[in-house]
Amino acid sequence: MRFLRQGLIGLFLASLVLGLLAYAGQTIVSAVQERMARELHVPERKERAFAVRTVRAIEAEITPTLTAYGQIESRRTLEIRTQATGIITELAPEFIEGGVVRAGQFLARIDPADAQSAQERARTDLMDTRAEAREAARAVELARDELAARREQADIQERTLARQRDLEARGVGTLTAVESAEFNLVQARQAVLASRQALALAEARIDQAATATARAELALSEAERRVAETRITAGFTGTLSEVSVVAGRLVAANEQLAQLVDGTALEVAFRVSTAQYAELLDAGGALINAPVTVTLDTGGLDLTATGRITRQGAALAQGESGRLVFATLESAAAMKPGDFVTVTVQEPPIAAAIRLPATALGSDGRVLVLGAEDRLEAVDVTLLRRQGNDILVRGAGLAGRDVVAERTPVLGAGIKVRRLAGAEAEAEPEAGTVTLTPARRARLRAFVEASTDMPEEAKRRLLAQLEQPEVPAQTVERLERRIGG
């Protein structure tokens, strides 16, 4: 009985499982048939519109600027060197590092004892030559007087000879007397010749004395110059640097003692690329006298100076590139030679130019503008200048249209876009001042007040600027860069 009961139960369970499997199979077949019999329905999809930020293209006359970096130099730098050898016996109180001296001011003196002794010897030699010249002049006068006396004696002898001959012709005189008179005349003429030779020697003595006097005067002048060389003076008004001398030091000839720098004749030397240099040339190929602004970053307050381009470097040194340009500064009292500065050059204005973000220009030289039904159109433009993160372009039909500020790979002609709310702006030059929110102003004030490496004078000036309704944009940018925000 037990075996029969278990067999029936097993048969019942097997029948139940087979029934369930049959029902499941029928359900699946019905579902597949119904699915296959149903019509295919594709949902309607909406065209995607990409969000873009646009700027309004405004055509105007824009003055581009060129930014470079350079170094402040002085147009007048003089090396103070010694002309004599000796010991430094005297120094001016201003002959120190950073000392300010005036033109012609006494700086130092080298022991002049040897030079003064040579000067006295030269002066004594000059006195001797002048005495010799005076003596030679008196000798010439005496020689001339003696020559005149000899000529008078010769004239007397000629008259005596003529008288003796007349007496002999009348038979009164003798031949012996005539011969004696002739002999006396010959001796008188020899005496005249000797006097002429003495006069010539006396006159030659004067010439020799004049030559000796000139030579002595030259020696005295050289000795006086040697004495003057022991006294060192300033060539012009300026500031001393690289001073390397003390009193009592033995110096050699042509040894450098210091450098004299004229702090009022400053200029800036900066290097630009060849392409940038080409923008600074006029139609004739000459360098334009463009205005420049020099900025020295002091860590809190920028020091600025203005000037104009004056000249360019004549040649390039080995390993250099671009062009070296010099600009003369008008007034830069706070700057010193050697300062590393930022130079901003104003180029000639460009008419009918449009300022756009640099990200608006594609690699194909086109920009994307909004067209009909908010679809993008590609417009060809001519790149005129690059100005930091901006570009200056010119294109036909571009003025007044909305240009995509930032191009991405998914954007192109014919793409439908939607403009971000509040993203439209006019492409104009950056303003020089900004208006700060109270939180931003308080943050900048706290940073300036807590700074320990900023001079007190710079702190006061920055805090005064931050109190103004409009704060210079460069000041805000510099402070936020140092904060890290």
144-148, 175-179, 299-303, 437-441 — which one is most confidently predicted on average?
144-148
Q: Within this chain, do residues 99 and 243 fall inside the same structural domain, yes or no?
A: yes
Q: Within this chain, do residues 358 and 413 fall inside the same structural domain, yes or no?
A: yes
Task: Check: CB of residue 269 under 8 Å from CB of residue 324.
Answer: yes
Q: Within this chain, do residues 419 and 478 fall inside the same structural domain, yes or no?
A: no
Tell me if 244 is assigned to some domain: yes
The residue from 220, 248, 276 where one domain ends is 248
What is the three-class DSSP state of 137? helix
| Residue 296 pLDDT | 87
Q: Within this chain, do residues 360 and 316 fall inside the same structural domain, yes or no?
A: no
Backbone angles phi, psi at 29, to 5 degrees: -65, -40
Q: Within this chain, do residues 357 and 322 fall inside the same structural domain, yes or no?
A: no
Q: Within this chain, do residues 469 and 365 fall inside the same structural domain, yes or no?
A: no
CA-nearest of 375, 297, 398, 308 to 339 is 297
| Least confident window among 142-151, 168-177, 408-417 | 168-177
Domain that holds residue 293: 262-346
Amino acid at 98: G
Instruction: Residue 94: count other Cβ atoms within 10 Å of its Cβ.
Output: 16
Q: Within this chain, do residues 318 and 374 fall inside the same structural domain, yes or no?
A: no
Q: Within this chain, do residues 441 and 402 fall inside the same structural domain, yes or no?
A: no
Sorting pLDDT into bands at 50, 70 and 90, what band is 143? confident
Tell me if 340 is assigned to some domain: yes
Average pLDDT over residues 339-363: 90
pLDDT at 427 over 80: no
For tokens 């042509």, what's the residue?
Answer: 254
Sorting pLDDT into bands at 50, 70 and 90, what band is 123? very high
What strands lie across the sheet with 231-233, from one edge to the other?
A: 231-233, 106-110, 86-91, 250-251
Task: Check: CB of residue 381 under 8 Å from CB of residue 393.
Answer: yes
- DSSP code string of 340-390: EEEEEEEPPPEEEEEEEEGGG--TTSEEEEE-GGGBEEEEE-EEEEEETTE
Q: Within this chain, do residues 128 and 87 fall inside the same structural domain, yes or no?
A: no
pLDDT higher at 4 or 273:
273
| Least confident window among 210-219, 348-357, 433-442 | 433-442
pLDDT higher at 36 or 332:
332
pLDDT at 43 over 70: no
The DSSP bridge partners found for residue 375 are 416
Question: Domain of 385: which CATH number?
Answer: 2.40.420
Q: 468-482, pLDDT tens digit by residue?
A: 877 877 777 777 777
Q: Within this chain, do residues 366 and 454 fall inside the same structural domain, yes or no?
A: no
Question: Going by DSSP bridges, is the β-strand pair 50-52/417-419 parallel, antiparallel, or unpaired?
Answer: parallel
pLDDT at 260 over 50: yes
Tell me if 197 is assigned to some domain: yes
For tokens 């709310």, what's the residue?
Answer: 421
The residue from 304, 329, 346 where one domain ends is 346
- d(CA 57, CA 37) in angstroms, rounded, equals 59
Sorting pLDDT into bands at 50, 70 and 90, what band is 181? confident
pLDDT at 329 over 60: yes
Tell me if 34 is assigned to some domain: no
Q: Within this chain, do residues 468 and 366 fall inside the same structural domain, yes or no?
A: no
Mean per-residue pLDDT over the chain, rounded: 84
| Residue 362 pLDDT | 87
Q: 201-214, pLDDT tens digit by residue?
A: 888 888 898 999 99
The number of angstroms, rounded, from the C-alpha of 306 to the middle of its chain's C-alpha atoms is 13
Tell me if 3 is assigned to some domain: no
Instruction: Residue 225: count other Cβ atoms within 10 Å of its Cβ.
Output: 12
Beta strand extents in 169-322 (DSSP E only): 231-233, 238-241, 250-251, 256-261, 266-272, 291-296, 303-312
List of residues 6+ apart from 96 with CB closer than 8 A: 240, 243
Structure tokens at 63: 């003055």
| Residue 139 pLDDT | 87
- The angle formed by the CA atoms of residues 205, 206 and 208, to the nearest 5 degrees, is 65
| Residue 120 pLDDT | 93
Sorting pLDDT into bands at 50, 70 and 90, what band is 423? very low
- d(CA 203, CA 208) in angstroms, rounded, equals 9
The DSSP bridge partners found for residue 269 are 71, 326
| Residue 196 pLDDT | 87
Question: Going by DSSP bridges, is the β-strand pair 390-394/350-357 parallel, antiparallel, or unpaired?
Answer: antiparallel
Tell me if 370 is assigned to some domain: yes
Structure tokens at 130: 């002048």
CA-nearest of 72, 1, 24, 90 to 342 is 72
Tell me if 47 is assigned to some domain: no
The DSSP bridge partners found for residue 110 are 88
Domain count, the chain: 5
The number of angstroms, rounded, from the C-alpha of 299 to the middle of its chain's C-alpha atoms is 23
The residue from 426, 449, 471 where one domain ends is 426
| Residue 397 pLDDT | 85
- d(CA 262, CA 236) in angstroms, rounded, equals 8
- DSSP code string of 65-99: EEEEEEEEEES-EEEEE-SS-EEEEEE-TT-STT-
Report which secondary-structure segment, H or E, holds 458: helix 456-466
Tell me if 311 is assigned to some domain: yes
CA-nearest of 438, 444, 426 to 483 is 444
Q: Within this chain, do residues 211 and 145 fall inside the same structural domain, yes or no?
A: yes
pLDDT at 21 over 60: yes
